[in-house]
Amino acid sequence: MPETTSADTCRSPRTIVVKVGSNTLTDDRGALNRRYIASLADQIADLMGEGVRVVLVTSAAIAAGLEVLGWRERPTDINSLQAAASIGQAALLDAYAAEFGRRGIPVGQILLTRYDLEHEKSYANARNAFERLLALGALPLVNENDATAVDEIRYGDNDTLAALVGKMISAERVIFLTDVDGVYDANPASNASAQRYDRLDHVDEELLAAAPAGEAGSAIGSGGMRTKVQAAAMLLESGIETVICDGRRGNIVRDCLGGSVPGTVFCQADAEGGERS
């Protein structure tokens, strides 16, 4: 099992990816929490005003579509899910565009599938789109293209997608805003003695086995702690730091860039076995 150290972060990033999950973005009824979106926009806008380049990977398209359609239960057939995702993408974009627009920041939507990131030409086109949006001072808003993707070209969770986007734009840190406050040595939902890791420098099978597949909150999300830990392992290989934290805690995005992070930080150790400065 990896050993934990203090929660101080390893460096001050200038390019980050923020991924926010469905459970964090929705309220108890499963509807979009627009007050939360406004708070998130405040935090990101402040950082962008200081020169930090931010990409936002957002879940909750299907949840937003269910809200618009007035459906109380998530459908099981693929066509209805794709329709809900299509309608929800528009609702999500409208919500983000309205909040960031009030802060003078344009939003550019980028919908991706596995095909886009596994073929050289489409990968280059996506990377160029990100770079141009960032150069323009816009916020790239990313989601999987659930409306058209089939199983063969889907990732199925935005945690993996966020990691791949982080690698694509050479981010220094990827921040996962979720409904739990970090990674534990056991499932805290069922084990009261579970202890949180403040910092990890590698991922092993024991850590993955301890990470529950589902979120601690509602069943809206498609990922879980395991997919986030797997994403962190992928990012560690590329020298990119990862933070997994409680997305609804105060000014969390800025806290994740400061000297002490209220969550779990994945950061490579240096050749001497200590933390990278």
Q: Is the pLDDT of residue 265 over 70?
A: yes
Instruction: Dump pLDDT digits (tens) for 209-229.
Output: 776 654 443 333 445 888 999
pLDDT, position 94: 97
Specify if 276 maps to a domain. no
pLDDT, position 271: 37
Specify if 138 maps to a domain. yes
pTM: 0.88
Tell me the two tokens of residue 257.
């860039």
* Residue 156: Cβ within 10 Å count: 15
Q: Is the pLDDT of residue 154 over 60?
A: no
Instruction: Dump pLDDT digits (tens) for 112-134.
Output: 988 888 899 999 999 999 999 99
Banded model confidence at residue 136, pLDDT cuts 50, 70, 90: very high
Specify if 156 maps to a domain. yes
CA of 218: how far to CAs of 95, 170, 223, 258, in Å? 22, 32, 12, 30
Specify if 207 maps to a domain. yes
pLDDT, position 11: 61
In the chain, the number of structural domains is 1
Q: Is the pLDDT of residue 186 over 60?
A: yes
Specify if 30 maps to a domain. yes
pLDDT, position 153: 39
Q: What average pLDDT does this structure show over 158-164? A: 94
Q: What average pLDDT does this structure show over 190-216? A: 79
Quote the domain boundaries for residue 74. 15-266
CA dihedral over 65, 69, 72, 75, signed as positive or negative: negative
Classify residue 45 by burial, with Cβ atoms within 10 Å: 0-12, 13-18, 19+: middle
Specify if 2 maps to a domain. no
Specify if 171 maps to a domain. yes
Specify if 10 maps to a domain. no
- The CATH number assigned to the domain holding 57 equals 3.40.1160.10
